[in-house]
Structure 1
Amino acid sequence: MTTSIALGKPLRAGSPLGYRLAAAFLVLVVAAAALAPLLAPYEPDAVDFAASLAPLSPGHPLGADQSGRDLLSRVLYGARTSLLGPLGLLAIASVLGVALGTLAAWHRGWADAVVSRLTDVMYAFPGLLFVVLVVAVFGNGTTTAVIALGLAYAPTIAKYTRSVALAECAKPYIEAYRVQGMGGFTICTRYLVPNLARSIVGYLVVLFGEGLMSLATLSFLGFGAQAPASDWGLMVKEGQPAIVQGAFLPVLVPGAAIALVVVCFNVIGVRLADRMGVRGS
């Protein structure tokens, strides 16, 4: 993946400059989200119909939406849910995926066959359809969307964990601990999984941007965050009617925030994956 800078020289995603720029931008985004109450000029849900669809101005640095809500304030507050959501879903997916992948690699045989068939079935089932079914049963909302996506991502992490755990299980130290009479659960929790952590964390960074985009998509479709939340995906959905009136800022501002954060996480993920030797399964 490549991009171009003003001078026309290619800036590779994995280059040190691209990595540093992406990391610096994400640090700013995280800091802005943490300091949103101090940085935001207005409350995110403060309505002012006199400022409806206001353009860029000192009073509204990024404009305002149809209800006159300040877009800068909403983007700053929305960064919290938009960044914490992917962390939550990856945490759920990691617990399930690492456990299943390690179980399959350690026991082999029937356990490996069961986990492999389970992941194959989940891959054959469209992820979005699975999430929609979960939402239909348990209702809309950010929590439901995070849990549903966590379950949907678990097979991907399980498959990757199994591949790296198989190679790790073949190393001499595993057999040495077995000869000493140490149980399989102890070996896995104390030695095997911690030794896999480096590769797994690198892989999760690669998945973070995809998770953010998935949550934003669910919010855009009405299955994730609900009004009056300032989630970025929901902001894009709510800003669509303004396009008919020639106002693009209500869609462009949150859309650009999503795109920039996803691209930066992908740049950092590619860099970390190259340095850690991470490869998708």
Structure 2
Amino acid sequence: MTALTLTPVRIRTRRPVGVSIAAGFLALVVTAAALAPVLAPYAPDAIDLSASLAGTSADHLLGTDSSGQDLLSRVLYGARSSLVAPLLLLAVAALLGVTLGVLAAWRGGWVDAFVSRLTDVMYAFPGLLFTVLIIAVFGTGMTTSVLALGLAYTPTVAKYTRSLALSETRKPYVDAYRVQGMGGVRICALHLVPNLGRAVVGYLVVLFGEALMSLATLSYLGFGAQPPSSDWGLMVQEGQAAVVQGAMLPALVPGTAIAAVVVSFNVVGVWAADRLGREG
């Protein structure tokens, strides 16, 4: 009798419908932001006082604000800064947080204790308050907001990276490279950090929606983007006065855009983090 050999079959799980819808919506938003000069019917800073607070029409599909600026055009152009700024924020947090987390896990001892106490001190301040304190020193603006929030998110990324790196440094391949005479910096840069990449990227995807909301909050408070920017958070702040006059669209349109993108990124982020965690 011939022995039967069983070939393992890899079962591919289907992507949930909600995740597909959220991913499709995000792809549409990114495409619209990239093609804003082509899709926008007007320039984002084009003022037409005769069309102030106009409702939806063939000329203005989403209405206008108090200055007669077309809301659709402003939302399309505003998507650029509203999506790029969180990426830069998380890049700053990842660069600093991963470095601190890996350093603490690799060196241990007083270095680990110092990094842990440093992140605990940063945690003692609410993230928004910490950011406002930095902005109060260096001034308002999107660049300052991105750097300040990047520092505020650093301890979160550092603690997560440290927890992953602690278990990774105990694996046999680390000792094998040490026996071969490879230095700690090379081991961490060439092997340890790349092995943590999937989990860290998944975690950053989950943080993207929160980062976008934090930047929009700073712009709404007047600390982030400044006029005549069409950043979504600033648009909500500028449209707030129109609500008293009964015009909801100037605040509702950018506010809905923020909420829809944040929810979509949270849905896709949780799914992506779960997949990356299982495949890593």
Fold match, TM over 0.5? yes
Structure label with greater radius of gyration: 2
| Residue of structure 2 in register with 1:100 after alignment | 100
Q: Give the Cα–Cα distance (whole angstroms) in 2 for the partners of residues 127 and 69 of structure 1.
A: 34
Q: Give the Cα–Cα distance (whole angstroms) in 1 for the partners of residues 230 and 253 of structure 2.
A: 12
2:44·2:69 contact (CA, 8 Å) conserved in 1? yes
Q: Give the Cα–Cα distance (whole angstroms) in 1 for the partners of residues 76 and 88 of structure 2.
A: 19
Matches within 5 A, 1:234-245: 234-245=234-245
1:252 aligns with 2:252: yes
Q: Give the Cα–Cα distance (whole angstroms) in 2 for the partners of residues 177 and 18 of structure 1.
A: 44
- Which amino acid is 1:247 matched to? A
1:127 aligns with 2:127: yes
Normalised to the residue count of structure 2, the TM-score between the two structures is 0.93
| Residue of structure 2 in register with 1:116 after alignment | 116
| Residue of structure 1 in register with 2:197 after alignment | 197
> Identity rate of aligned residues, in percent?
72
Deviates more, 1:119-128 or 1:228-237: 119-128
- Which amino acid is 2:137 matched to? V
| Residue of structure 2 in register with 1:31 after alignment | 31
Deviates more, 1:183-192 or 1:167-176: 167-176
- 1:55-92 superposed Cα distances (whole Å, 9 cap, x missing partner): 01110000000000000000000000000110011000
1:49 aligns with 2:49: yes
Query: How far 1:133 sits from its partner (Å)?
Result: 1.1
2:198·2:277 contact (CA, 8 Å) conserved in 1? no
- 1:157-216 superposed Cα distances (whole Å, 9 cap, x missing partner): 000000011111111101100011100000000000001000000000000000000000
Matches within 5 A, 1:56-205: 56-205=56-205
Q: Give the Cα–Cα distance (whole angstroms) in 1 for the partners of residues 50 and 116 of structure 2.
A: 59
Matches within 5 A, 1:218-233: 218-233=218-233
Q: Give the Cα–Cα distance (whole angstroms) in 2 for the partners of residues 184 and 245 of structure 1.
A: 64
Query: How far 1:35 sits from its partner (Å)?
Result: 0.5
- Which amino acid is 1:133 matched to? L
Deviates more, 1:121-130 or 1:142-151: 121-130
SS in 2 for 1:277: helix
Q: Give the Cα–Cα distance (whole angstroms) in 2 for the partners of residues 205 and 182 of structure 1.
A: 33
2:94·2:157 contact (CA, 8 Å) conserved in 1? yes
Structure 1 segments (4+ residues) deviating >4 Å: none
Q: Once superposed, what is the RMSD of the aligned Cα atoms? A: 1.1
- Which amino acid is 1:52 matched to? S
Q: Give the Cα–Cα distance (whole angstroms) in 2 for the partners of residues 16 and 112 of structure 1.
A: 41
Q: Give the Cα–Cα distance (whole angstroms) in 2 for the partners of residues 15 and 248 of structure 1.
A: 37
Normalised to the residue count of structure 1, the TM-score between the two structures is 0.93
Q: Which structure 2 residue ranges, 5 or more long, are not aligned?
A: 1-13
Q: How many residues align?
A: 265
